[in-house]
Structure 1
Amino acid sequence: MTWRALSADWLKIRGKGLWFLVFLGPVGLIAMQGVNFGLRYDYLREQYRADLWGGLLRNVSDFVPVALYLGGTLVCSLIANIEHQTSSWKQLLALPISRTAVFMSKLLICLMLLVVSCLLLSAGSVILGLLLGFGTQPIPYADILRIGFASYAAALPVIVLQLWLSLSSRNQTLPVSMGMTLSLLSLFSVYLSEWIPLSWPSLAWNAGRPWLFSGAGLLLGALVLLPGALHFARKDVN
């Protein structure tokens, strides 16, 4: 049943601006670092001369949590609004598909779109590094993939929570406001305790054992998913 709902949701997102957001995040982030390195090229190249790719990735990684939280918030809200704006929840839930399948379909759409963003971020990092002349050093493909996906795994609790809130309320003010606030606070996550999930996307790149925070994000995301799916299955929708 989830597959049927997923197929229908893929058709629904066409022309809704979601793909624009998927490309905007990574392209904007890479463009920002292109300007950063372009304006300070000689200084930064000298500063990172021992590890040019590492220097580029460290600069990119500072803004990955913000992009994930903000992008995840907007994607979740737009996915939920497809049903909210057309008042089609009753018709959708009257179909012979369980509410849990509907919830999981929306979640999978959101997660897959963000996976595409992470892939674009990795590809963009390689292209930017080559344009900056860093090809003289070996390309760290593992780190380039990790820069997006490690933080992505760590951000899953907030992404799942955002979808839960977005699907549960026709008024998107609360989930969008909360998502924007969390994305701004993530800029200061270095000052937060490692026990606070908001800091996990940053720690998934910078910590001594980053895999712990990616794993914690996956686990807590699954735990948030359970009450979210149960609440959606029992909630009256308009």
Structure 2
Amino acid sequence: MMLRSLSADFLKIRGKGIWFLIFLAPVGLVAMQALNFGLRLDYLKKQYADDLWGGLISNVVIFVPIALYLGVTLVSSLVANVEHQMSSWKQLLALPISRTAVFSGKFTLCFLLLTASCILLPIFTIVLGLALGFGTDIPLGDILRMGFFPYLGALPLLALQLWLSLTFRNQALPVTLGVAAAIMSPFAMQLPEWFPLNWPAFGYSGPHASWFVGAGIICGAVIMVMGMIHFNRKDVE
């Protein structure tokens, strides 16, 4: 039943610009570093002479949490807005499909869309490194960790954003919350490492990265279940 809901949701987002956003985020991050390295290539090659690929990854990864928070916010809001703008909640929930399947389908849709973006980021990073002449000794493990570990650490915000976006017809609250999280995330590093906004960053570079990844998965699952329970009991307008 959830697969039926997911299939319908994929059809609904056609022409909504979401796929363009999914492609734009990794392209933007890598293009920013292409400009950075392109303008200062000789200097940065000297600075990272011992590990050119590591230097490239470190320059990309510092912007990944910000991109994740903005991406999670926009994707959740756009997916929820498909139903809000069409005022189709009553028709949707009148179908022989459970509310649990509807909520699960939309969460899975957001998760898959953002996963696609996280797949593209390592690919574009490798292309940039090769184009800059960093050699073929590619640290594939580090690049894949850069693409996925911060994302897993950000799953609680994805679950929360989807919950809020589905709950409120006016998207001002969830969008404001997501943008505020993105803006605050670089400054959150001054706070204790277990502050939730730090989980994506420490999920990649922390001394116990797997702890933050695990915390993101577990906390994200808990918030998703809470959102699902609330959605099952919520009155539909």
Identify the TM-score tier after normalising by the shorter chain: over 0.9
Range moving further from structure 2, 188-197 or 176-185: 188-197
Aligned residue number for residue 39 of structure 1: 39
Aligned-partner Cα distance in 1 for 2:121–2:191? 26
Aligned to 2:59: 59
Matching residue of 1:113: 113
Partner of 1:4: 4
User: What is the one-letter code of the residue matched to 2:150?
Assistant: S
Aligned partner letter, 2:125: S
SS of residue in 1 equivalent to 2:96: coil
Supply the distance in 2 between the matched residues of 1:176 and 1:148 (Cα, whole angstroms).
23
What secondary structure, in the 3-state scheme, does the structure 2 residue paired with 1:135 have? Answer: coil
Q: Distance in 1 between matches of 2:133 and 2:191?
A: 36
User: Is contact 1:150-1:205 (8 Å) kept?
Assistant: yes
Q: Report the counterpart of residue 159 of structure 1 in structure 2.
A: 158
**Residue identity opposite 2:106 in structure 1:** K
Q: TM-score with structure 2 length normalisation? A: 0.98
Task: Determine the structure 1 residue equivalent to 2:220.
Answer: 221
For residues 33-56 of structure 1, the C-alpha deviation after alignment (integer angstroms, 9 at most, x for no partner) is 100111111111111110111110
Q: How does 1:36-185 map to 2 (within 5 A)?
A: 36-135=36-135, 138-185=137-184
Per the TM alignment, residue 196 of structure 1 is displaced from its structure 2 partner at its CA by 1.0
Q: Which runs of 5+ in 2 are unaligned?
A: none
Indicate conservation of the 8 Å contact 1:189/1:202, yes or no.
no
| 1:80-118 Cα distance to aligned partner (Å, 9 max, x none) | 000000000000000010001000000000000000000
Q: Please report how far the alpha carbon of residue 195 of structure 1 lies from its aligned counterpart in structure 2 after TM superposition.
A: 1.8
Q: Displacement, 1:75?
A: 0.3
- Give the SS at the match of 2:109: helix
Amino acid at match of 1:157: P
Question: Which secondary structure state, in structure 2, belongs to the residue aligned with residue 134 of structure 1?
Answer: coil
CA distance in 2: counterparts of 1:96 and 1:28, whole angstroms: 42
RMSD of aligned residue pairs (Cα, Å): 0.8
Report how many aligned residue pairs link the two structures: 237
Q: CA deviation at 1:189?
A: 2.7
Greater mean deviation of Cα atoms: 186-195 or 200-209: 186-195
The code of the aligned residue for 2:49 comes to R
**Farther off after superposition, 163-172 or 184-193:** 184-193
Alignment match, 1:211: 210
Shift of 1:212: 1.0
In 2, Cα distance between equivalents of 1:77 and 1:182: 15
Deviations 1:165-198 (A, max 9, x none): 0000100000001000001111223212112111
Q: Which runs of 5+ in 1 are unaligned?
A: none
Aligned counterparts of 1:177 and 1:12: Cα–Cα separation in 2: 25
CA contact (8 A) 1:122 1:144 kept: yes
The residue number in structure 2 matching 1:201 is 200
Q: So what's the TM-score if we normalise by structure 1?
A: 0.98
Structure 2 CA distance, aligned partners of 1:120 and 1:25?
9
Structure 2 residue identity aligned to 1:32:
M
Ranges of 4+ aligned residues in structure 1 off by more than 4 Å: none
Distance in 2 (CA, whole Å) between partners of 1:37 and 1:190 is 25
SS of structure 2 residue aligned to 1:237: coil
* In structure 1, C-alpha distance between the alignment counterparts of 2:236 and 2:16, rounded to whole Å: 22
